[in-house]
């Protein structure tokens, strides 16, 4: 016991100060794209190099769909007018699919409007995570939120072992054919009401696997997400901020 107490005193407090202070992001972090509409020449070069067709031109200033975006930065690299830039904005989560589109207008993260969700889950949230054919990147960054450094449990957010104990299903991966039945069974086993979080570009749109005959281009055709968290994978701060905003936590 004495050795345990000494170890605790030696280690001290290790949990980061996020979300009460801004997260410490790596220098190479790629956040929300920004578009200067007045600079866009509609040349279409960004759309040509985009590996997931996230950049849309069609004779108008470019629109970037962050639900498809891999945040590779190729669009910014080839833009001759510097109309597209990659910011450090980590707040990417949206509660509707339309709000994942970057159009050049000023950005303000939306607030929750689902009163039923706030009534059930405003103070605590039990999550069952389902990897529906993911590569493990989104899964690992979600698991990080359980570590000492992030400690999402301090906000009443917990991962549960069974969907029967869950308030929401967090889906990663493009929903492969082999995982479709397991995803549906997990959702059906959860008590009602139950909500859905699409975590990562693959879960939102299929990502680089979109159009494959062995995947379903994300979860939206099967279950309607209540929160979309873009990224390949989403940074832990992006995911935690989105969940906390969905719960209407003030910070």
Can you give the residue ranges of every domain in the chain?
Answer: 33-90, 115-246
Binned average pLDDT, 10 residues per bin, the chain of 251 residues: 76 84 93 95 95 94 97 96 96 97 92 95 97 96 95 96 97 97 98 97 97 95 97 97 96 79
Element (H, E) at 195: strand 195-199
Question: Tell me, what's the pLDDT at 234?
Answer: 97
Residue 15 token pair: 């949990």
**φ, ψ for residue 103, nearest 5 deg:** -115, -5
Q: How far apart are CA 207 and CA 232, in angstroms?
A: 8
Residue 249 token pair: 């936590």
**φ, ψ for residue 133, nearest 5 deg:** 90, 20
Cα angle at 111 between 150 and 218, to 5 degrees?
A: 70
Residues, the chain, total? 251
Question: Tell me, what's the pLDDT at 59?
Answer: 86
In 3D space, the residue among 206, 15, 220, 243 whose CA is nearest the CA of residue 118 turns out to be 243
Please tell me the class of the 115-246 domain.
alpha beta
Residues 6+ apart with CB under 8 A from 114: 95, 195, 226
Question: Tell me, what's the pLDDT at 251?
Answer: 79
CA dist list (Å): 182 to 75, 103, 130, 217, 233: 36, 36, 8, 16, 22
Question: Tell me, what's the pLDDT at 93?
Answer: 98
240: DSSP letter = H
In angstroms, how far apart are the furthest CA atoms of the chain?
A: 71
The dotted CATH code for 33-90 is: 3.30.70.20
Q: How far from the centroid of its chain's Cα atoms is residue 233's Cα?
A: 8
- pTM here is 0.94
Asked if the domains 33-90 and 115-246 are classified in one and the same CATH topology, the answer is: no
Q: How far apart are CA 10 and CA 126, in angstroms?
A: 32
Question: Tell me, what's the pLDDT at 9?
Answer: 76
């Amino acid at each position: 016991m004495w050795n345990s107490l000494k170890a605790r005193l030696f280690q001290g407090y290790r949990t980061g100060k996020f979300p009460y202070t801004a997260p410490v992001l790596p220098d190479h972090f790629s956040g929300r794209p920004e578009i200067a509409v007045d600079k866009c020449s509609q040349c279409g070069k960004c759309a040509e190099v985009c590996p997931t067709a996230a950049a849309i031109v069609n004779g108008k200033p470019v629109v970037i769909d962050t639900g498809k975006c891999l945040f590779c930065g190729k669009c910014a690299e080839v833009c001759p007018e510097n109309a597209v830039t990659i910011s450090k904005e980590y707040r990417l989560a949206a509660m509707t699919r339309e709000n994942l589109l970057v159009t050049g207008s000023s950005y303000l993260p939306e607030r929750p409007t689902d009163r039923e969700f706030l009534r059930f889950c405003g103070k605590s949230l039990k999550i069952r995570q389902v990897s529906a054919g993911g590569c493990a990147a989104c899964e690992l960054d979600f698991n990080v939120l359980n570590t000492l450094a992030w400690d999402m449990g301090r906000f009443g957010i917990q991962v549960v072992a069974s969907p029967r104990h869950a308030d929401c299903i967090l889906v990663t991966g493009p929903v492969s054919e082999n995982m479709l039945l397991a995803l549906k069974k997990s959702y059906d086993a959860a008590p009602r009401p139950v909500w859905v979080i699409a975590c990562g570009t693959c879960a939102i749109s299929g990502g680089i696997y979109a159009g494959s005959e062995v995947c379903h281009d994300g979860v939206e055709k099967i279950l309607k997400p209540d929160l979309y968290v873009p990224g390949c994978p989403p940074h832990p701060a992006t995911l935690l901020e989105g969940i906390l905003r969905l719960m209407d936590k003030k910070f």
